[in-house]
Amino acid sequence: MGSGRRTATLATGAALAAAVWLGGAPAVAAPGDPAPTAPGVHPGVQTRTDGAQCTANFLFRDGEDVYIGQAAHCSGTGAATETDGCDSGSLPLGTAVEVGGASRPGELVYNSWLAMQEAGETDPDACAFNDFALVELAPEDAATASGTVPFFGGPSGVDTDGARVGEVVRSYGNSELRGGVTLLSPKVGTVAGETGNGWSHDVLTVTPGIPGDSGSAFLSADGRALGVLSTLQFAPLPASNGVSDLSRMLEYARAHGAGDVELVTG
């Protein structure tokens, strides 16, 4: 969940039997030299949507248009119990989104919640875990944006075969609640299973996430873009993170109004 005007939200339904829109956790550094953090827009910068602070995930492109990704629920407007993306309220497309490192606000141009509602989606797994949005960058910011994930580097592409139990994954959160202590931003976790027939991966990290990490990029063991931090779950695995599968969300986005959007590698 993003920090700000919206608080952590309890998810409903059997698939999410006690989860909150939340994300991220302090981590142990990965081996090797950390990737330098580029100036301007890049994965891991903070985004603010009508007061809610989240963490951007990956950079995307469709022709000359460049986007930074965030979680769809970061622009949610509903009450704490409204967590099903197929019927939860959301700010409209065209909403201004402040993006860290950008010279001007970006524009919300795709939101999986809005796309599912327009399509009349009925798949309960998609409704629960398709949590992805695109924010278009202004041309001057797009020209200098980097696709590299801070500290870890990558992604080298999109992970299309899911994640095996025990696989090590990496992420970079950027909650404002850390008070600028960036040593707490890199995180390492282990895959504990999957939920929603592959729509979401259960990942155990050193400690539970905090508000403001929502939307963070997760990398697979081989450096590919695995998913987007969506929830902190209490069951069946206490304190596990729900990481929505990027490959599935991208496929859905392309089929529902996002054009031929592609991941920008780092």
To the question of domain 19-36+149-245 being in CATH 3.40.50.10800, the answer is: no
Radius of gyration of the chain (CA): 16
Let me know if 5 is exposed, middle or buried by CB neighbors in 10 A (0-12, 13-18, 19+): exposed
Please tell me the predicted confidence (pLDDT) of residue 210. Answer: 72
Blockwise average pLDDT, block size 10, the chain, 266 residues: 42 35 33 55 96 95 98 86 87 98 98 98 97 98 97 96 93 84 82 94 77 92 96 62 96 97 97
Task: Confirm if 28 and 101 have CB atoms less than 8 A apart.
Answer: no
Tell me whether the CATH fold assigned to 19-36+149-245 matches the one assigned to 46-146+248-263: yes
DSSP bridge partners of 65: 62
Number of helices (H) and strands (E) in the chain: give both, helices first.
4, 15
Please tell me the predicted confidence (pLDDT) of residue 14. Answer: 30
Please tell me the predicted confidence (pLDDT) of residue 16. Answer: 35
Distance CA 151, CA 172 (A): 8
Q: Measuring CA to CA, which residue among 163, 173, 238, 170 is closest to residue 201?
A: 163
Sequence-distant (≥ 6) Cβ neighbours of residue 248 within 8 angstroms: 130, 198, 199
Sequence-distant (≥ 6) Cβ neighbours of residue 140 within 8 angstroms: 103, 104
Please tell me the predicted confidence (pLDDT) of residue 164. Answer: 92
What is the domain partition of the chain in residue ranges?
19-36+149-245, 46-146+248-263
Please tell me the predicted confidence (pLDDT) of residue 8. Answer: 32
Task: Confirm if 72 and 89 have CB atoms less than 8 A apart.
Answer: no
Let me know if 62 is exposed, middle or buried by CB neighbors in 10 A (0-12, 13-18, 19+): middle
Please tell me the predicted confidence (pLDDT) of residue 158. Answer: 98
CATH number of 46-146+248-263: 2.40.10.10
